[in-house]
Amino acid sequence: MKTLGRILMALWTAGSLAILAQDQPPLTVAVFDFESKDENVKDLGSKVATLLNAHLSAEPNLILVERAELEKVLGEQELNLSGTVSQDSAIKVGNLTGARVLVTGRIFRVEKELFLVSKVIGTETGRVYGQKVQGGTGANISELSGELATRIASVLEEKGSTLLPKVVTREERIARIRKALPAGPLPSVSVKIPERHFGGPVIDPAAETELGLILQECGFRLLDGSAAEKADIHIGGEAFSAFGLRKGNLHACKARVEIKAVRANGEIQAVDRQTSVAVDIAEQTAAKTALQNAVVEMVERLVPKLVRR
């Protein structure tokens, strides 16, 4: 009976996590080093960021981007997101890391008071919320960081809907695309997007399948690339996904889709790319969903270019 109880409990937990992954997916957050220019706090910026990262990692509905990945992105893009963050930089880092929220800020002293001031930034909306904590002489930086993390977590819970853009369903996107398409016949299209998942084999290409399905639903005639009849436009490119991190039984995967649409005469009709993140109880499903999400997010930009003369 005990064994059966454990099995039932495991199944219930997995089911609950599956519902969580579908209805209230964890929010992806990146914490950057705080600006600490003053001589008496100059060594605290990275320490506070590390402590905040540790505290926020314990929140069940948050997934923290690994600091090693952040450092890599910052190095490759020559970005400095310590302290003051422009909206363009926030959007850029969000696209590169999959983070939907950035946390950064400043540390400074005013007389005998130590202040930790944070900014919580929505990478897709540019919305910003601030929080601060302060302590007197001999203030414990760990305790202050824990208090600030609690306040940031409250902001994410209470204001999360305003930090993120309004959710647009796949069906709404397709309806908008179809409404904007010109009258008359649409060009025939073939789609071939090789796909790979780092760390495991790929059985079928999710990005290629999703893009082909959407184009069909929008009224395009979809041709097999090996057919005798050549399509007016061939869409090729590359899609890849990778495991991001694990939180309990949930797996987060990040995916990127890059496409190039070429006319039969060799003219490049469109070039685009999109990064996305998804969470599921199975790594492979999370990877596939991330690829599908990237296509869905890209397609409203792509389709008008396909019908452009």
pLDDT, one tens digit for every residue, the chain (309 residues) = 433 333 333 333 333 333 333 445 678 899 988 988 888 888 888 899 999 999 999 888 888 888 777 777 767 665 655 555 666 677 777 777 778 899 989 999 888 889 999 999 998 888 999 999 999 878 899 999 999 999 999 999 998 888 988 878 888 888 999 998 988 899 999 999 999 988 666 667 899 999 999 999 999 999 987 766 789 999 999 999 998 877 777 788 889 999 999 999 999 999 999 988 888 888 889 999 999 999 998 999 999 999 987
Q: Which two tokens stand for residue 31?
A: 């914490």
- Of the CA atoms within 13 Å of residue 7, those in its CB half-sphere come to 4
Of the candidates 225, 215, 217, the one whose C-alpha atom is nearest the C-alpha of residue 187 is 215
- What are the phi and psi torsion angles at 281 (to 5°)? -80, -10
**pLDDT attached to residue 201:** 61
Give all strands (DSSP E) within the chain, no chain letters.
27-31, 62-64, 101-110, 113-122, 128-135, 188-191, 195-198, 221-222, 233-247, 250-263, 268-280
Domain 22-163 carries which CATH code?
Answer: 3.40.50.10610
pTM of whole model > 0.75?
Answer: no
Q: Which of 214, 302, 224 is nearest to 258 (CA)?
A: 302
* Environment class of 274 (CB within 10 Å of its CB; exposed 0-12, middle 13-18, buried 19+): buried
Give the number of other CB atoms < 10 A from CB of residue 309.
3
C-beta atoms surrounding 41 within 10 Å: 21
SS3 category, 144: helix
CATH superfamily of 187-306: Lipoprotein like domain (3.30.160.150)
Contact 50, 36 (CB under 8 A): no
Q: Per 3-state DSSP, what percentage of the chain is helix, strand, and coil (rounded to 5)?
A: 40, 30, 30
For the chain, the domains span 22-163, 187-306
Give CA–CA dist 247/60, Å, rounded: 8
Tokens 């599956």 correspond to: 18
Q: Tokens for 119? A: 């900014």
